Amino acid sequence: MGSRPLYSLRLLSHAMFVLASAVSPLIFGILIVGLLLAVVQGAFQVEEGALALAAKLLVVLLLGAGAVEAAFHSIEHLAQAWLIAAPSLVNRAGF
């Protein structure tokens, strides 16, 4: 019974890692494009907000389309780990 909370924390840690690995390519892609556009807009003194929005939207679409399969694969492994661990997390003495 003492190992159940530790195993639950490991599953939660694994879930947070899967979430971070699924979302981080999009966040870093938007960050890099945003920084590059800020430098270009500052260098050429362009004050057009649509330029930044269109570029970030394009990056999100391209990275999102490419990362969908990897994200689903990670989430599939997470779901399998949770389903395998489900019986050990149930407190049978309380039922």
| Other CB atoms within 10 Å distance of the CB of residue 29 | 19
Q: How confident is the model at residue 5 (pLDDT cuts 50, 70, 90)?
A: low
- Of residues 2 and 79, more confidence is placed in 79
pLDDT at 80: 86
| Distance from C-alpha of 8 to C-alpha of 67, rounded to nearest angstrom | 28
pLDDT, tens digit, 9 for 90 and up, residues 7-50: 677 778 888 888 887 778 778 888 888 888 888 888 888 777 77
Question: pTM here?
Answer: 0.58
pLDDT, tens digit, 9 for 90 and up, residues 54-79: 887 888 788 777 777 777 777 888 88
